Amino acid sequence: MAVTGVVVSIYRTPHLDASLSHRMAHGRGLSSSIIRGMGRLDELIRRTLVTLNLTTAEWLALVDALVAAPSLPRFPLSSIAPTLADELAIGCLRGREDFDGPGLLARVQAMPPAELLSILDTVERFYARREEENEPPAATLVALGVHLPPDAESPGESS
């Protein structure tokens, strides 16, 4: 879905204002600064996604665990591991015995911010795409640029 010529409302925060003010120096406008920043962010996410070494089952567990993230007004990267830990502890990921929950949690806790950002962005785009497309969850992940292991052709998903 291409978005062209659309007017967008942006809720400016002190952090956003500070970030943009540095970028708007040298005569750059607000739109230009945002477009440049989003382009860089998109490139970082695309490059990071292909380096993440997660199985199909691990991706689907993360998608299930972070289901509420896209609807929250603020979901910091530091919330990903505790949310996954909570979901594992209360048994919300039962039926997903095809991955090592404690192992995934340890890996997520050790991830650098770029990897966490890529996961959160992918989860948000996953649910947005699922509203529009009727495809298997693994196919949705692949369409979003996630590199899945070869066994992704036979997903047993529930998302």
What does the pLDDT read at residue 151?
63
Distances in whole angstroms, Cα of residue 81 to Cα of each of 99, 102, 138: 16, 11, 22
Q: From CA 157, how far away is CA 138, in angstroms rounded?
A: 8
Structure tokens belonging to residue 70: 């896209």
List, for residues 56-81, the tens digit of each pLDDT value: 999 999 999 999 998 887 889 999 99
Residue ranges, the chain, pLDDT below 50 = 152-159
